[in-house]
């Protein structure tokens, strides 16, 4: 222990001794029995040991602020009763006077403390207390009419129990630390008072009478008392605002009159307990500071800036004060001008060397096969977004659909629904499938897919359920003719529903007659001059080709040069329509999110041709097969029966992209040759102009990619062109 610790300990011991002297002086009474003094000594020892340890570590703490306090208290009570009576109401007692009793009890309630100057505080308490009185066991010689009877003995036992509501008030003084000296008084009003009395009388050791009695004691109107004590306030939070306080406390009170009417009975008590207090924060008037920011930004464009940055200006601060009652409102005004440096503004400005395009058109009549397979997303039974979902049968007509295979397939359910309304005796069989590899041939999933197709035809096209039959299987619900390609393209083709019918008109090809098709679009590469454009270092540029609000083509271009040539692929030129302006757009953007656009308009002129072509892609081959299915043979026979004498036919074989280039070429050639042989067999006078095998190197009309399962299925075909 160092010197400072010794000084602290000496001061703490002195505080304890002063408190002990003060407290013991309150307890001096000739009538206190030895048991009560022993209890008091033990409590004082524990209490002052706690206070000593607390005082050593927190002697700078004082309850010296001006905040009022609310809280509650709870005490354990030691009671000392001084009595002098020979009987109680409703009880005949003939022993000597009852002169003393010990007891215990408890007390609890609410408290309010108001601070005063000079480390003083005034407190009020309202609570409830309960006490007991144990008079013990008394033995005495028996008398009859005042005469002592030899051998006659009496033994009496008496206990009392009573409770009351108490109101106390005391003044406390805080001389140092958290130590407080208390002195005050109170008054109690009885709530109840009961006693138990038992007396046993014996003659020469033999019991001759036993009396048990209970009753109610008549309490005085009020019972005043004075008390003194000590307490120590311990803040719960040492490093914060310390709004909560825990206070161990000891009080000794002395009764000022009789407890019960007609009886000499006074009570002194020793209380030991704890009080929990909370300081009530006051709404003190405070000065309020308000800040007003006036920021201005000057923007500077510079070509050497890649990413925008800002330089803060020097703030100018001024203030003014406004007195509102007792409050002072201070307003600080902060003016600052910042400079924002940004990349130079993008300017898209270009010239295209082509202002007009001439398109030769030909009249086409084409028969499109109806692919009655519907494809689903992985582990999904809902209709894919690739299919056109209409709200009612009144909002659809096959005649208004654009003439290409992909658009027709996206409306396959609507075409079948429309035809089933036209042919009320027709029925279909719906078979659902799941991929064996990715979906384990899940039959429940397959059935749900078939159910989605049935529900659409039933709810939108109002087809009766008995005309929509679902093929059910309990195991191995993968397609019978599944795609064997072991990647996502093959897996996607096996997640499907197949629709079959004996009513051939439901799945007959869709005939589109006498529509115009581009036959020759001699379009040289577009030459784009961007010399007049302003382009930043991180600029991104792209060219977009739009017609009738439809994006036909998009290409990212380099910003390294001023002159760019762009050659449009054939898939784009086929989709350009005559009579409508073609918009060529240059779009510039940078990392700042800024965008600049410039548009050049190209006029599309139509030049008519005398050519008329009939085209059909009636055969849809199974994957990897060149065998012509029976349905394909019937469609070709029906188509050739309507041609004139000695027609000229061009035969072209196609495949999807799943195989190798060599195998696809060989498969496409076999499909074309077998189809040409079938045509000659059906109509010998046909002149086969050519037999070609573009395979997967070219798309059939209306197909522009192999991305979706439907596009790959539709590409497994032979296309016939009859030139007139």
Residues 444-462: tens digit of each pLDDT: 999 999 999 999 999 999 9
pLDDT surpassing 90 at residue 464: yes
In this prediction, residue 167 carries a pLDDT of 94
Res 631: pLDDT: 81
Strands 687-695 and 648-654: parallel
Predicted confidence (pLDDT) per residue in 140-178, tens digit: 776 666 677 787 787 888 888 999 999 999 999 999 888
pLDDT of residue 418: 95
pLDDT of residue 12: 42
Are 411 and 396 spatial neighbours (Cβ–Cβ below 8 Å)? yes
Q: Residue 308, SS3?
A: coil
Written in H, E and C, the secondary structure of 487-526 is CHHHHHHHCEEEEECCCHHHCCCEEEEEEEEEEECCCCCE
What average pLDDT does range 61-88 have in this prediction? 79
Query: Is the model's pLDDT at 34 over the cut of 60?
Result: no
Percentage of residues of the chain with pLDDT beyond 70 = 84
Q: Is 63 exposed, middle or buried (0-12, 13-18, 19+ CB in 10 A)?
A: buried
Average pLDDT, the chain: 82
* Per-residue pLDDT at 65 exceeds 80: no
Mean pLDDT of 544-570: 82
Tell me the CB-side half-sphere exposure of residue 316, using CA atoms within 13 A: 7
672 — pLDDT class (breaks 50, 70, 90): very high
**Concatenated DSSP letters of 84-97:** EES-BTTB---SSP
- Determine the average pLDDT of the residues in 247-268: 88
- Distance between CA atoms of residues 718 and 695, nearest Å: 10
Task: Read off the DSSP letter of residue 442.
Answer: -
How does DSSP classify residue 646? S
Give the mean pLDDT of 200-210.
81
Instruction: Specify the residue for token string 């308490």.
Output: 125
Query: 425: which DSSP letter?
Result: T
- Assess whether pLDDT exceeds 80 at residue 473: yes
Beta strand residue intervals within 558-621, DSSP E: 563-566, 582-589, 595-620
Please check the confidence at residue 43 and state whether its pLDDT lies above 60. Answer: no
What length does the chain have?
724
Q: Report the pLDDT averaged over residues 695-713.
A: 86
User: Considering only CA atoms, which of 555, 557, 600, 608 is closest in space to residue 582?
Assistant: 600
Measured over the CA atoms of residue 24, residue 27, residue 32 and residue 36, the dihedral's sign is: negative
Could you give the C-alpha distances from 716 to 415, 601, 625, 669, in angstroms and in order?
Answer: 22, 38, 9, 12
Residue 419 has pLDDT above 90, yes or no: yes
Tell whether the model's pLDDT for residue 425 goes beyond 90.
Answer: yes
In this prediction, residue 38 carries a pLDDT of 57
Burial 335-368 (b: 16+ CB within 10 A, else e): eeeeeebbbeebebebebebeebebebbbbbbbb
If you average pLDDT over residues 459-470, what whole number do you get?
94
323-344 pLDDT, tens per residue?
777 678 888 888 888 888 877 7
pLDDT at residue 56 tops 50: no
d(CA 220, CA 265): 11
Q: What is the pLDDT of residue 156?
A: 81
Mean pLDDT over 587-598 rounds to 84
Give backbone dihedrals phi and psi of 190, rounded to 5 degrees, phi first.
-70, 140
Both structure tokens of 39: 């209890």
Instruction: Tell which residue, 460, 464, 465, 463, has the closest CA to residue 393.
Output: 460
Query: Given this model, what pLDDT does residue 523 score?
Result: 66
What is the predicted pLDDT for the residue at 284?
A: 57
Looking up tokens 């000229």 gives 648
The fraction of the chain above a pLDDT of 90, given in percent, is: 31
pLDDT surpassing 60 at residue 16: no
- Whether the predicted pLDDT of 18 surpasses 70: no
Amino acid 19: pLDDT: 41
- Give pLDDT tens digits for 123-148: 999 999 999 988 877 777 766 666 77
Q: Which helix (H) or strand (E) holds 637?
A: helix 630-640
Residue 665 has pLDDT above 90, yes or no: yes
What would the 3-class secondary structure string for 270-295 be?
A: EEEEEEEEEECCCCCCCCEEEEEEEE
- pTM summary value: 0.48
pLDDT at 25: 40
Provide the token pair at 249. 């406390």
Q: Distance (Å, rounded) from C-alpha 687 to C-alpha 652?
A: 14
């Amino acid at each position: 222990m160092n010197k400072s610790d010794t000084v602290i300990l000496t001061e703490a011991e002195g505080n304890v001794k002063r408190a002990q002297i003060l407290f013991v002086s309150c307890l001096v009474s000739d009538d206190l029995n030895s048991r009560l003094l022993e209890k008091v000594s033990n409590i004082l020892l524990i209490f002052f040991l706690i206070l000593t340890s607390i005082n050593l570590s927190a002697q700078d703490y004082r309850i010296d602020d001006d905040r009022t306090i609310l809280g509650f208290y709870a005490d354990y009570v030691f009671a000392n009763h001084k009595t002098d009576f020979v009987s109680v109401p409703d009880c005949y007692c003939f022993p000597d006077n009852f002169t003393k009793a010990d007891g215990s009890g408890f007390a609890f309630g609410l408290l309010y403390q108001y601070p005063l100057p000079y480390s003083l505080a005034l407190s009020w308490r309202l609570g409830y207390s309960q006490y007991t009185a144990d008079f013990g066991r008394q033995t005495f010689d028996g008398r009859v009419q005042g005469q002592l009877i030899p051998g006659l003995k009496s033994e009496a036992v008496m206990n009392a129990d009573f409770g009351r509501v108490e109101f106390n008030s005391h003044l406390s003084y805080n001389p140092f630390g958290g130590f407080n000296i208390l002195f005050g008084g109170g008054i109690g009003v009885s709530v109840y008072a009961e006693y138990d009395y038992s007396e046993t009388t014996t003659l020469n050791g033999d019991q001759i009478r036993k009396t048990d009695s209970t009753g109610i004691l008549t309490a005085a109107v009020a019972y005043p008392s004075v008390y003194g004590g000590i307490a120590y306030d311990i803040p719960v939070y040492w490093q914060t605002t310390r709004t909560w306080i825990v206070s161990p406390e000891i009080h000794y009170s002395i009764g000022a009159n009789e407890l019960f009417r007609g009886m000499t009975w006074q009570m002194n008590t020793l209380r030991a307990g704890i009080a929990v207090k909370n300081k009530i924060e006051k709404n003190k008037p405070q000065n309020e500071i308000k800040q007003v920011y006036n920021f201005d930004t000057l923007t500077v464009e510079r070509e050497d800036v890649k990413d925008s940055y800002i330089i803060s200006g020097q703030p100018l601060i001024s203030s003014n004060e406004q007195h509102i009652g007792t409050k002072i409102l201070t307003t600080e005004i902060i003016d600052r001008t910042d400079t924002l440096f940004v990349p130079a503004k993008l300017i898209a400005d270009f010239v295209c060397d082509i202002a007009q395009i001439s398109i030769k058109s030909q009249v086409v009549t084409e028969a499109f096969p109806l692919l009655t397979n519907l494809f689903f997303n992985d582990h999904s039974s809902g209709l894919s977004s690739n299919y056109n979902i209409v709200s009612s049968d009144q909002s659809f007509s096959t005649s208004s659909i654009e003439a290409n295979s992909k658009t027709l397939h996206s409306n396959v359910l609507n075409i079948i629904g429309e035809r089933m309304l036209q042919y009320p005796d027709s029925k279909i069989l719906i078979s659902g499938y799941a991929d064996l590899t990715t979906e384990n041939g899940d039959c429940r999933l397959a059935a749900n897919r078939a159910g989605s197709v049935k529900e659409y035809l039933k709810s939108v096209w109002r087809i009766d359920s008995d005309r929509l039959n679902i093929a059910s299987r309990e195991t191995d619900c993968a397609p019978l003719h599944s795609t064997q390609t072991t990647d996502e393209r093959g897996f996607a083709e096996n997640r499907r529903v197949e629709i079959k019918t004996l009513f051939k008109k439901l799945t007959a090809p869709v005939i589109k007659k006498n529509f115009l098709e581009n036959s020759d679009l001699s379009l040289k590469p577009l030459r784009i001059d961007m010399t007049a454009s302003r382009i930043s270092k991180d600029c991104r540029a792209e060219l977009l080709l739009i017609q009738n609000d439809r994006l036909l083509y998009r290409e990212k271009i380099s910003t390294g040069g001023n002159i760019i040539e762009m050659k449009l692929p054939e898939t784009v030129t086929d989709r350009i329509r005559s009579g409508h302006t073609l918009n060529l757009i240059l779009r510039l953007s940078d990392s700042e999110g800024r965008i600049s656009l410039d548009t050049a308009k190209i006029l599309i002129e139509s030049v008519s041709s005398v050519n008329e072509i009939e085209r059909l892609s009636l055969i849809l081959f199974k994957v990897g097969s060149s065998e012509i299915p029976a349905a394909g043979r019937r469609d070709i026979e029906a188509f050739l029966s309507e041609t004139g004498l000695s027609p000229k036919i061009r035969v072209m074989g196609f495949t999807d992209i799943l195989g190798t280039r060599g195998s696809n070429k060989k498969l496409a050639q076999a499909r074309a040759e077998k189809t040409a042989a079938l045509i000659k067999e059906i109509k010998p006078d046909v002149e086969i102009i050519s037999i070609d095998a573009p395979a997967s190197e070219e798309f059939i009309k209306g197909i522009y990619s192999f991305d979706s399962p439907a596009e790959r299925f539709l590409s497994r075909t032979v296309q016939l062109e009859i030139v007139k």
